[in-house]
Structure 1
Amino acid sequence: MSTALLAGATLASAVLAIASALGLLAPGLLFVFKPLTTALILCHAARARAERPARRWVIAGLALSWCGDVALLWPQRGFLPGLVCFLLAHVAYLVAFTRPVRLAARPAPFIVYAAVAGGVLALLWPDVPAGLKPPVAVYVVFLAAMAAQAAVVWRTAADGGDRPAGGLAAGGALFVLSDALLATNRFQAALPWASLWILASYWAAQWCIASWGKPALRRS
C-alpha cells in the first residue's frame, strides 16, 4: 500500500471514529474505527525510514497506544489501565528519541514544556480525584519529557542542516495539546465537540511521530 493510500485510509478511519464518538454515527462503530486508526498509523511507522533501534521503540509506543485506545473505549473502568498504557508509550517514545540525541541535550525545550505541563497540572489539580493524582502526575512528567525530547531532536537536526524532525516536534506538541484537552474535558468542564478536538489532535500527533525518518544525527 502506498503512503498516500495508507494516509487516506487512516484519515477515513479517523473521521468515522470521531463521527461515532460525537453520536453522528452508530456508537458501536467507535469500537471498530478507533483501534483501526491507530493500527493503520502503526503500519505507517513500520514503513518509516528511521534507524532500526529508534523505529522499534516508536512501533512499541504505538502498540502501547493501541492498547490504551482499547482501554479508553470504556472511559470509567478503562481510564487507569489506559493511562498506564500511554505512560509506557511515552517511555518507549522517549527511548526512541534518545537514540540519535542524548536526553535533554538542549535544555530549553525541557524548560518550556516543564512550564506548560506545570501550568496545566496546577489548573486541573484540584479537580483530579485523590486516587488518580499520583499516576496523573507521573504521566504528565513523562508526557512533557517526551515532547521536549522530540523538540531536542528537531533542533539538533536543524542545526546540522537536516530538517525532517520538525514533524516529530509537532507530534510531541500535539500530544500535549490532546492530553490537555482530554484532562480538561474529564476533570474540569465538558468541552463542546470534545471528541473532535481530542482525537484529531491525538491522531495527528501519532502520525507525525510515526512519520519520523532519517534520524542520522550526531550524539550531542
Structure 2
Amino acid sequence: MKKITLTLFVIAAVGNLAAHIIENADLSFYTKPFLMPLLMVYFSVSSVEKKSLLNFGLLALLFSWAGDVVLMFQDRGELYFMMGLGSFLLAHVIYIFTYKKARWEEEENGLLPTQKIRYVFILVLAGCGLVYVLLPKLGELTIPVIIYASIIVAMTIFALNRFGFTSQTSFGLVFLGAVLFMMSDSILAINKFMEPLPIAGFWIMLTYILAQFTIVQGLLLHKKREPSS
C-alpha cells in the first residue's frame, strides 16, 4: 500500500508539473486536488511512532489541500485568494505544533546561541525583504500578507529549532521542506502582485510538492531516542 500510494503521488505530481510546461489547464485542474490526499494516505500507512504527531501532520496536509482547491478558483474573485491564504496559514500554524511534537526532550549537539541568532536573522530578513518589495502592490491585502509572511517565517524557524532534537536526516528534510515552502509562496506572491514569471505555475508547484513531501518524509524519519546506557 505504501509503495502504491507513493507511486500514485509521483504520477499525479509529474502530471501536474507537465501540465504547467505544456500549458494544459485541464490536466493541471484534475491532478492538483489528488496531490495532498495521496500524500496523506502515504503518511498514514507509513510507520509513525506517535499518534499525535500523525494527527497533527495529517491536519496540516488537510488544510493545505483545502488551500490548493480554493486557489484553483482565485480568478473568480479576491475572496478565493483570501480563503486559500487562510487555509495555508492554518496549515503552517499546525506544522509549527507538529514540529514541536517531533522533537526529543533533551538536546544533543544542538546549535550554539550565536548560530541560532544568525540563521534566524537570515530567515527573518528573507521574509521582511519579500514583504518590503511587495508592499507597494498589496493594497487592501497588506495586513493579511504581512500576517501570512510572519507565520511562514515562524514555521521555518520552528523547523530550524529541531536541530539537535532529532536525527540529522529528519531535521534536514523538514527544514529543507520549510525553506522550499517559503520559496514556493515567494514565487507565487511575486507572480501575483508584481509581474508574471515564465512558467511560474511549474516553479510554484515544483517547490510546493517537494516541500510537502520532504516535510512528511522528515517527520516519518523522526524516531524516539534510545536511552543512553
Partners in 2 of 1:50 and 1:71 — Cα distance? Answer: 32
Inter-CA distance 54–184: structure 2 relative to 1 (3 Å threshold): same
Deviation string, structure 1 residues 163-216 (Cα, Å, up to 9, x no partner) = 322111110010001001110111111111111110010010001112212253
The AA in structure 2 aligned to 1:165 is: F
Task: Give the aligned residue type for 2:96.
Answer: L
1:199-214 correspondence runs (5 A): 199-211=205-217, 212-213=219-220, 214=222
* Contact 1:100 1:216 (C-alpha < 8 Å) held by counterparts: no
Which residue is equivalent to 2:120?
A: 110
- State the Cα deviation string for residues 90-133 of structure 1 (Å, max 9, x = none): 0110111112449xx974343321111011111111111x2111
- Do the aligned residues in 2 keep the contact of 1:178 with 1:199 (CA within 8 Å)? yes
Give the CA RMSD over aligned residues. 2.2
Aligned to 2:183: 177
1:13 aligned partner: 12
Q: Tell me if the contact between 1:10 and 1:41 (Cα under 8 Å) persists in the aligned partners.
A: yes
Please name the residue that 1:146 is paired with: 155
Higher Cα Rg: structure 1 or 2?
Answer: 2
**CA–CA distance in structure 2, aligned partners of residues 172 and 65 of structure 1:** 14
User: So what's the TM-score if we normalise by structure 1?
Assistant: 0.86
Whether the 8 Å CA contact 1:10–1:40 is kept in 2: the answer is: yes
Say whether 1:189 aligns with 2:208: no
Determine which of 198, 207, 215 is the counterpart of 2:204.
198
1:92 aligns with 2:61: no
Q: Which has the higher contact order (CA 8 A, sep 6+)?
A: 1
Residue 146 of structure 2 corresponds to 137
TM score, norm. by length of structure 2: 0.83
Gaps of 5+ in 2: 106-110
In 2: Cα distance, 1:170 partner to 1:50 partner: 22
Task: Using the TM superposition, give the Cα deviation of residue 23 of structure 1 relative to its aligned residue in structure 2, in angstroms.
Answer: 4.8
Against the structure 1 CA distance between its residues 139 and 8, is the aligned structure 2 distance closer, same or farther, given a 3 Å change threshold? same
Q: How does 1:70-85 map to 2 (within 5 A)?
A: 70-76=69-75, 77=77, 78-85=80-87
Aligned-residue offset at 1:8: 2.6
Given that residues 183 and 207 in structure 2 are in contact (C-alpha distance below 8 angstroms), is that contact kept between their aligned partners in structure 1? yes
Where has structure 1 moved over 4 Å in runs of 4 or more?
none
